C-alpha cells in the first residue's frame, strides 16, 4: 500500500500543465492579418521551466500547444517578430481564444 501511495504522489508531482494559446496577429495600421509572423514563448518573471515553443502565423492565426511545469499564473509571454516590423512581446492567457496581437511596421 505504501508503494502504491508513493507512485500516485510521484505521478501527481510529475504532471505538467497543458497550455493552449491562440490568437491572430494583425498590422497595427491596416488591421489586416499578417502571414508568417514568428510567434514564440519566452521566459519571464511569471514562469519557471516553461517549454520553448514557436510557430508561424497562417492567415494571421497562430496556435501554441505545449506543456510546462510550475506556472505561477495563467499568463504566458510571447514574442512576435516579422521582417519589416518591430519585434513585440505580449502577455497571453491560457485557454483564452482569439487574442488579437498587433505589430507596428518599421519605417
Share of the chain above pLDDT 90, in %: 36
Angstrom distance (rounded) from CA 17 to CA 60: 26
Q: Which is nearest to 37 in space by CA: 10, 11, 64?
A: 64
pTM flag (> 0.75): no
- Each residue's pLDDT tens digit, 27-60: 999 999 999 999 988 765 555 566 678 899 999 9
CATH classification (class only), 17-103: mainly beta
Q: Strands 75-81, 88-93: parallel, antiparallel or unpaired by DSSP?
A: antiparallel
Domain boundaries, the chain: 17-103
Please give the pLDDT value at position 73: 60
Amino acid at each position: 500500500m505504501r508503494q502504491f501511495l508513493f507512485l500516485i504522489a510521484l505521478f501527481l508531482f510529475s504532471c505538467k500543465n497543458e497550455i493552449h494559446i491562440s490568437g491572430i496577429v494583425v498590422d497595427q495600421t491596416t488591421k489586416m492579418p499578417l502571414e508568417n509572423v514568428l510567434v514564440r514563448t519566452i521566459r519571464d518573471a511569471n514562469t519557471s521551466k516553461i517549454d520553448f515553443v514557436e510557430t508561424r502565423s497562417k492567415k494571421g492565426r497562430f496556435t501554441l500547444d505545449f506543456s510546462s511545469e510550475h506556472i505561477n499564473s495563467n499568463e504566458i509571454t510571447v514574442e512576435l517578430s516579422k521582417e519589416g516590423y518591430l519585434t513585440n512581446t505580449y502577455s497571453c492567457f491560457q485557454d483564452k481564444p482569439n487574442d488579437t496581437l498587433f505589430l507596428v511596421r518599421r519605417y
